[in-house]
Amino acid sequence: MKIKHSNVLQDIELPMQFSISFDKVFSSYKTYADKVNENHPYHNSAKKMVDEIQKFPELIEGFSDFSLLDKYKDQIDLILNPLFPEALSTNEIKAASIPFSFTSFKFTTRFENILNDAGEDYILRARNFEDDIFYIAACTWILAVVHNYYIDLKRPFIFDIPDKNGEMRSFRAAYNGDMGEVIATENAPHITEEDIKLLLDSFDNIDIWKEKFPPNSYIFKGFGIMNLFDVTADETISAINSNLLRSDENLLQDLRINLAKFYNIKDLMLGFSTFEISSENLELAKIKKSKSLILDGESEIRCDNFFCGYIFDKVFRKQESIAISDVEKYGKLTNQNPFYKKLKSKGIGSILIIPIKQTNNRDLAIIEIASPRPFELNSINQHKFKDIIPVFESAVERAMKEHQNILEATIQEYYTAIHPSVKWRFYEAAEKYYKAIYEKEDNVKLDEIIFEEVFPLFAQLDIKGSSTARNQAIKEDLMTQLTMAVNILKEATQNEQLPIYNELMFRIKGYLDNLELGLHSGDEVGILNFLKSEIYPVFNHAEQINKKLSKMIAEYKNRLDPDLQVVYEKRKEYENGVTLLNDKLAKFLDEKQEEAQTMFPHYYERYKTDGVEFNMYIGQSLVKDNKFENLYLH
pLDDT value at position 419?
A: 65
Q: What is the DSSP string of 194-207?
A: HHHHHHHT-TT-HH
Rounded to the nearest integer, the mean pLDDT of the chain is 84
Per-residue model confidence as pLDDT tens digits over 2-13: 888 877 666 788
Give the 3-state secondary structure of residue 127. coil
Confidence of residue 283 (pLDDT cuts 50, 70, 90): low
Domains of the chain as residue ranges with CATH: 3-21+62-230 (no CATH), 251-391 (3.30.450.40), 451-634 (no CATH)
Give the 3-state secondary structure of residue 492. helix
Per-residue model confidence as pLDDT tens digits over 590-617: 888 888 878 878 777 777 666 778 787 7
Per-residue model confidence as pLDDT tens digits over 382-436: 988 888 888 888 877 777 777 677 777 776 666 666 666 677 777 777 777 777 7
Confidence of residue 540 (pLDDT cuts 50, 70, 90): confident
> How many Å apart are CA 487 and CA 546, to the nearest integer?
15
Q: Which residues contact 307 (CB under 8 A, 6 or more apart)?
A: 315, 316, 337, 339
Question: Of the given ranges (462-471, 498-507, 524-533, 547-556), which has the lowest mean pLDDT?
Answer: 462-471
Contact 6, 102 (CB under 8 A): yes
Per-residue model confidence as pLDDT tens digits over 147-191: 888 887 667 888 999 988 888 899 999 988 889 999 999 999 999
State the amino acid at position 315 in one-letter form: V
Contact 52, 78 (CB under 8 A): yes
Instruction: Judge whether residue 265 has pLDDT over 70.
Output: yes
Contact 173, 224 (CB under 8 A): no
What percent of the chain lies above the pLDDT cut of 90?
26
What's the whole-number mean pLDDT along residues 354-365? 74
Instruction: Judge whether residue 534 has pLDDT over 70.
Output: yes
